[in-house]
Amino acid sequence: MSPEPVGPVNELAGHPRIDAVSTDIAAFIGYTAKAQSPEKSLARVPTTVRSLIEYEQFFGGPSAAGAPYLLFDSLTLFFANGGRQCLIVSVGNYDEPIAKQALLDGLTPLEAQLSVAIVVMPETVRLPRQDGIEAQRALLAHCGNITRNRFAILDIPAGDQPLHPTSPVAAFAGGLSAAHLAYGAAYYPWLIFAPPRLLGGTIAIPPGAAVAGLFATIDNTRGVWKAPANVSISAVAGPAVSLTASDQEALISVTTGVGVNGIRSFPGMGTLVWGARTLDTLSLDWRYVSVRRTALMIEESVRLALRAFVFEPHVPVTWMVVRSMVQDFLLQLWRAGALPGATPQQAFSVKIGLGETMTPQDVDAGHMILEMFIALVRPDEFIVFTIDQNMSS
């Protein structure tokens, strides 16, 4: 669908500007040694940490060898791969069994955390099969339906096992429903990691947290629109399973279309993330991680900026300011290389106004409706985003 042609994009001085929301802040839900600050309990309280040392101050260290808990080692790989800041939601301690409901209860306090852009729950792989499936479906629904402003990185149960004869990837793909697949991605296989406490011994852990760290690195150095693929994972010995080029085909389900990204080892190059698909490989618009996450960033940035216009007069002057503000924001993204096209007109268009996006009834009811036509993959091929701001709330 193509928008109507637009004139030159003006960068007007004096009107509010839109700042892009952060895309690199991940939230981790799981089990910890403790959950306590000097002032209060941190159980189920989203808590910002900026280093593994700070994490240990609030949540303690790793579990005993052979225990099923994964959060501490996952956080180690998150920070080792470029993660700078995350939120921790502790849902239990090492004396408790890993339970589906506890992990799901950890999602609720995250709903109000506007800074979160990525969510990871490593210990879903420790649940019984059906519980794990339900927890991962709930995580996708949290991102794609409840908040609609963040992206899930799912881990594959038994991801340290080979593709043959019984594929853990096929079992994972068969368990997911079709809902909200574009709001998540998954990676296979697990990673071989040598925690310092094991004095040279190794363990296999899910890759989701390490990938979240790579997302943060790419977001901060290249931009969220850069595909998070063909990048090296730090602090690991290698993938738990060696994949070949022909194995790549087995990572996309022929029955459900659910796609998983491979992790491969190459001589002289290390351990690489070898794919940048969302789970929804059948979607023409949302099959790529970078496209989905760029769209989430744009929508959330504009939506939050429109809050400044609550209680402003619902008149053409306000609409003109909003249009100019959004155009300026998209122009800056185009100049940064986030949107394709030789000209701004090939990359985006913005509509707002009576007879364009609103009826007299919309205006009377206080609905300011903005439409953005944005090319995210190819010039002149636009995805339409509609934002409805209630001018009285």
Read off the pLDDT band of 77 (50, 70, 90): very high
pLDDT of residue 392: 79
Q: Is 58 among the domain residues?
A: yes
Residue with tokens 């690991």: 236
**CB distance 326 to 302 below 8 Å:** yes
**CB distance 139 to 154 below 8 Å:** yes
Read off the pLDDT band of 10 (50, 70, 90): very low
How large is the average pLDDT for residues 207-216?
98
Look at residue 117 and give its three-state secondary structure: coil
Strand partners, 354: 358
| CATH number, position 219 | 3.40.50.11780
Omega within 30 of 0 (cis) for the link into 344: no
Q: What string of DSSP letters covers 57-88?
A: HHH--PPPTT----HHHHHHHHHHTT---EEE
Read off the pLDDT band of 14 (50, 70, 90): low
- What pLDDT, in 10s, does the model give residues 309-346? 998 999 999 999 999 999 999 999 999 999 999 999 99
Angle at 252 between CA 118 and CA 159, to 5 degrees: 65
100, pLDDT greater than 70: yes
Strand partners, 92: 31
**CB distance 191 to 262 below 8 Å:** no
Phi, psi of 349 (to 5 degrees): -150, 150
User: What type of residue sits at position 303?
Assistant: R
Q: Is 209 among the domain residues?
A: yes
b/e code 9-30 from CB counts within 10 Å (16+ = b)? beeeeeeeebebbbbbbbbbbb
**Domain containing 255: what range?**
26-290
Q: Is 319 among the domain residues?
A: no
Q: Is 101 among the domain residues?
A: yes
Contacts of 392 (CB under 8 A, 6+ apart): 310, 311, 366
**CB distance 223 to 337 below 8 Å:** yes
Q: Give the count of beta carbons closer than 10 Å to the beta carbon of residue 37.
A: 12
User: What type of residue sits at position 274?
Assistant: W
pLDDT of residue 13: 42
Q: Is 226 among the domain residues?
A: yes
Comparing C-alpha atoms, which of 295, 263, 305, 337 is closest to residue 151?
295
What tokens were used for 166? 């019984």
The total domain count for the chain is: 1
Q: Is 389 among the domain residues?
A: no
Q: Is 231 among the domain residues?
A: yes
Instruction: Please name the residue ranges forming H helices in 149-288.
Output: 168-175, 208-221
Q: How far apart are CA 219 and CA 78, in angstroms?
A: 14
- What pLDDT, in 10s, does the model give residues 241-300? 999 988 988 899 888 889 999 999 999 999 999 999 999 999 999 999 999 999 999 999
Q: Is 143 among the domain residues?
A: yes
Contacts of 187 (CB under 8 A, 6+ apart): 153, 155, 156, 207, 208, 211, 260, 261, 262, 263, 273, 275
The mean pLDDT value of the chain amounts to 94
**CB distance 327 to 10 below 8 Å:** yes
Omega within 30 of 0 (cis) for the link into 165: yes
Q: How far apart are CA 290 and CA 224, in angstroms?
A: 6
Q: How far apart are CA 228 and CA 273, in angstroms?
A: 8
Q: How far apart are CA 59 and CA 68, in angstroms?
A: 17
How large is the average pLDDT for residues 59-72?
96
